[in-house]
Amino acid sequence: MSNDETHHRMVALNIVALLISSKGLGRNSYLGNLLFNSDQKMPENYTEHVQMKICWSAFLPGDPFITQMLDVRAQVTLRLPKISPPKHCGDPNDHRLCPMCHKDIGAIQDGVLIERDPPQLKIPINGGFQFITRYIEDYNRKVCFGYHYRTPAEQSNVGDKPDHLQHSISYRFIHMFIHATLLFLDELDYLSEIDLPKPEHFREHFEKDYALLAEQVNDDEHCYLWLFKLFNHLLDEQFIQEGLLDNHENVVQFETCLEKQLLFTHMNSIAEEIRQYSVAYIDFVRQCDEKFS
């Protein structure tokens, strides 16, 4: 097993251990609900728990149109500081592939879109952004249970995030946390009835999330230490939010709490927190050696 594989396994096991520890609270919590039902017990059928009890759509929008819209909005937003939209919208050298239908997106010359079936829409940028916002708001009003996230891991990008989070690193942390949980259940054969695009779906997303997080914290070698530190903080009382993840509002509340009180608090001290954790671990090993030598 390589160092990366070892780190992946350790991160996933730390997440699972954290979730299991929530059972000792004696009450429902958002974190605990990822693994336990409303009676704080292991569900008799985890497929039913995942597909009918948790509002995963807030964590992971399952609507393919939203996936496409967010991708388009992100790409256009990246271009906005560099171009004047009325003059260069439809720039012929800006060819891309649609992430959903894999057909060309772009123009053959200024203002002349590539002809294709289905056709591209030619609308003002602000109008397009407003349409995307309204569509997502309408989608979020629905209570959608079940895991329906079929986007391949290779399409995950550093800049991905939902509108209610301010930074993409927050979304990536939560995305990794969720897929580590699902990977754990899948490896125990608790989710064999869930229809996945491929057997490695959960694993590939978890590993890609970890890689993107390491890229964002700018420390491929020690990212896992920073994550261990964050997991330790999640044991604090401020992160024990009572309730169930059975509606969109609760999921948004859960995510924004993690972003503001966990990630924002520790985002600017990553190097120092990694150093502190390393020192504490070395001291722990030394004490164990002295105790049992």
Q: Is 266 exposed, middle or buried (0-12, 13-18, 19+ CB in 10 A)?
A: middle
- Of the candidates 73, 66, 81, 70, which has an alpha carbon nearest to the alpha carbon of residue 139? 66
Asked if residues 94 and 79 have their Cβ atoms less than 8 Å apart, the reply is yes
pLDDT of residue 156 exceeding 90, the answer is no
Confidence bin at 86 (pLDDT 50/70/90): very low
pLDDT of residue 172 exceeding 80, the answer is yes
Mean pLDDT of 64-87: 67
Lowest mean pLDDT among 118-127, 154-163, 192-201: 118-127
pLDDT tens per residue across span 112-153: 767 777 776 677 888 888 988 888 878 777 767 888 888 899
Residue 236: CB atoms within 10 A of its CB come to 10
What are the structural domain ranges in the chain? 3-60+168-292, 65-140
Confidence bin at 59 (pLDDT 50/70/90): low
pLDDT of residue 96 exceeding 80, the answer is no
pLDDT of residue 207 exceeding 50, the answer is yes
- Taking CA atoms, 129 is separated from 57, 96, 203, in Å, by 21, 19, 33
Tell me the whole-structure pTM to 2 decimals.
0.74
Instruction: Round the average pLDDT of the chain to a whole number and report it.
Output: 83
Asked if residues 213 and 190 have their Cβ atoms less than 8 Å apart, the reply is no
Q: What is the pLDDT of residue 76?
A: 78
Asked if residues 71 and 141 have their Cβ atoms less than 8 Å apart, the reply is no
- Taking CA atoms, 246 is separated from 145, 237, 249, 293, in Å, by 8, 22, 9, 50
Mean pLDDT of 220-236: 88
Q: What is the DSSP letter of 82?
A: G
- Of the candidates 154, 171, 271, 274, which has an alpha carbon nearest to the alpha carbon of residue 225? 274
